[in-house]
Copies of this chain bind each other. A is one copy, B any other.
Amino acid sequence: MLSIGDELTLGQTLDTNSAWISERLLLRGVRVDEHATVDDDTERICGAMDRLSSGHDLLVCTGGLGPTADDLTRVALARVLGVPLVEDAGALAHIESWFTGRGGMPPSNRVQSMRPESARCLENPHGTAPGLAAETERCDIFCLPGPPHEMQPMFRAFVEPALRQEPGRVTRTRIILTFGVGESRIAERLGELMDRDRPERGLPLVGTTASRGVVACRVRHSGSSEAEVVAALDAVEDEINHRLGAAVFDRRDPSAGDSPDVADALPRVVVSMLRDRGERVAVAESCTAGLLGAEITRIAGSSSVFVGGWLTYSNDMKTSMLGVPVSVLEREGAVSGACALAMARGALDRSGADHALSITGIAGPGGGSDEKPVGSVWIGCASGGGGAEARLFRFKGDRDAVRAWAMRTALGLLRLRLAGLDMKLLAEIERVR
């Protein structure tokens, strides 16, 4: 992959195209080895195109197809192919029609109808920049516009159908999601399943990635038939479930249509479990002050399971809004198990929900003491039938990290409770990437 543009190398725009295209390609069994990003410099674009198209079977370029002087992808591709630029009548007609009713085509846009003589133009239904497709002896080259809403439909229409399938070769992936155990301990438990040479031995490759507290185990396998590949993935998934136990909270099978996007997996599972049971939750947040409620309600349809909550940042609010006894605050302080329990019970009683989660802690950077250092967070959970409990965690990291970990851990606790598992599992929580 090659992303082209000053705005990318200068850090002004985040390149989301590379990740999107890589993921789409992987679902088709095409593995991306390298992304390169270069600025709007013809020499550097040519150098990268030349290098990448010599060493790979497929090169997808994005960006640099606009009408201005710093849009150089057309010129660079022509130079790499060793052919002149010519005007494409179809592309010109498309661009002219784009500006119908918009005051006519500005002269600067005419350059967008130029293509290297041996390339063909790819129609862009959402903008003026046509894409380009060309072949070298080894490599299929596609150049697509940079804006994602223009690039993505063109990728689907032109690149995906042209992917060379390795004949008789099927690649599939599986994602197993865990929460509550750090990435290095997950790796220890997976042991030899993570050996890098497994594909050479005909076994599925297992890797882990950690993001927002969720450690994802990603399993990939290639073989000669769908049935053989799926059976091998199933076997590895069973073994991973066996080794990781209650830490596993979700699975994704992208080839069966599951989303590979796992950013909201934890609240999604919690909302889904609540919905299945016809139960509702309320929150009482001190140091997170809304993070937990906001995370649950990221999920569309969460209104059927989320009642609401209280942000009791000050001690006065803890007493007046949730009935936390003044004696608890005076004797044990706001960061205490007794306060977390009283917050959870108060929220449960006042909301009419089936479960209530509470969070009270010291996010820092100030406010810590020897006894209660920064990162100390009590998380409480009270349920209509099941009593109440509170646990102390010590999260590492800065203010943002402590708050995010507290929010996620509260969700993890509720997940365990809803699944009938022991909340002690989360005692293993440590800060992972």
- The residues of A with any CB-CB pair to B shorter than 8 Å are 3, 6-16, 18-26, 31-41, 44, 48, 66-70, 102, 106, 108-109, 126-128, 145-147, 149-150, 183-185, 187-188, 194-196, 207-209, 211, 216, 218, 260, 283, 285, 287-298, 300-301, 303, 306-314, 316-317, 320-321, 350-352, 364-366, 396-401, 403, 430-431, 433
Shortest A378–chain B CB gap in Å is: 17
**9 pairs from A and B in contact (CB 8 Å cutoff):** A8-B19, A34-B48, A35-B38, A66-B433, A108-B187, A297-B403, A301-B366, A306-B313, A308-B311
Q: Look across to chain B and name the residue whose beta carbon is closest to the beta carbon of A401.
A: B149
Is A68 touching B292 in the complex (CB atoms < 8 A)? no
Is B297 touching A294 in the complex (CB atoms < 8 A)? no
Is B23 touching A33 in the complex (CB atoms < 8 A)? no
Is B9 touching A33 in the complex (CB atoms < 8 A)? yes
CB-CB under 8 A for A31 and B10, given A37-B36, A301-B366, A366-B301: yes
Shortest A90–chain B CB gap in Å is: 20
Is B313 touching A308 in the complex (CB atoms < 8 A)? yes
Bound together, the chains give a CA A102 to CA B42 distance in angstroms of 53
Is A16 touching B19 in the complex (CB atoms < 8 A)? no
Bound together, the chains give a CA A194 to CA B6 distance in angstroms of 14
Bound together, the chains give a CA A12 to CA B401 distance in angstroms of 20
Bound together, the chains give a CA A356 to CA B44 distance in angstroms of 50
Is B313 touching A297 in the complex (CB atoms < 8 A)? yes
Is B11 touching A21 in the complex (CB atoms < 8 A)? yes
Q: Look across to chain B and name the residue whose beta carbon is closest to the beta carbon of A102.
A: B430
Is B23 touching A18 in the complex (CB atoms < 8 A)? no
Shortest A218–chain B CB gap in Å is: 7
Q: Look across to chain B and name the residue whose beta carbon is closest to the beta carbon of A367.
A: B303
Q: A285 — which chain B residues lie within 8 A by C-beta? A: 290, 293
Shortest A425–chain B CB gap in Å is: 15
Since A9-B32, A67-B184, A150-B433 are in contact, a sample of 14 more A-B pairs with Cβ atoms closer than 8 Å, ordered by chain A residue number, is A6-B209, A11-B26, A12-B23, A33-B41, A35-B36, A36-B37, A37-B37, A68-B194, A285-B290, A293-B313, A300-B364, A300-B366, A308-B312, A311-B311
Is A307 touching B301 in the complex (CB atoms < 8 A)? no
CB-CB under 8 A for A185 and B106, given A149-B400, A285-B290: yes
Q: A183 — which chain B residues lie within 8 A by C-beta? A: 66, 68
Is A314 touching B321 in the complex (CB atoms < 8 A)? no
Q: A290 — which chain B residues lie within 8 A by C-beta? A: 283, 285, 289-295, 297, 309, 311
Most B Cβ at <10 Å: residue of A14, A48, A70 = A14
CB-CB under 8 A for A32 and B15, given A69-B195, A184-B109: no
| Count of chain copies | 2
B19, B287, B311: the one contacting A15 at CB < 8 Å is B19
Is A9 touching B22 in the complex (CB atoms < 8 A)? yes
Q: A397 — which chain B residues lie within 8 A by C-beta? A: 126, 149
CB-CB under 8 A for A35 and B12, given A294-B291, A312-B308: no
Q: A308 — which chain B residues lie within 8 A by C-beta? A: 289, 310-314, 317, 321
- 9 A-B pairs with the lowest CB-CB distances in the bound complex, closest first: A290-B290, A11-B22, A290-B293, A11-B23, A35-B37, A290-B294, A289-B297, A147-B433, A308-B317
Bound together, the chains give a CA A285 to CA B260 distance in angstroms of 31
Is B39 touching A36 in the complex (CB atoms < 8 A)? no
Bound together, the chains give a CA A9 to CA B31 distance in angstroms of 8
Bound together, the chains give a CA A271 to CA B41 distance in angstroms of 39
Q: A216 — which chain B residues lie within 8 A by C-beta? A: 12
B18, B289, B352, B433: the one contacting A294 at CB < 8 Å is B289
Is A108 touching B184 in the complex (CB atoms < 8 A)? yes
Q: A127 — which chain B residues lie within 8 A by C-beta? A: 431, 433
Q: Look across to chain B and name the residue whose beta carbon is closest to the beta carbon of A34.
A: B38
Bound together, the chains give a CA A296 to CA B399 distance in angstroms of 13
Shortest A78–chain B CB gap in Å is: 18
CB-CB under 8 A for A10 and B37, given A19-B15, A317-B307, A366-B300: no
Q: A25 — which chain B residues lie within 8 A by C-beta? A: 11
CB-CB under 8 A for A44 and B36, given A127-B433, A293-B290: no
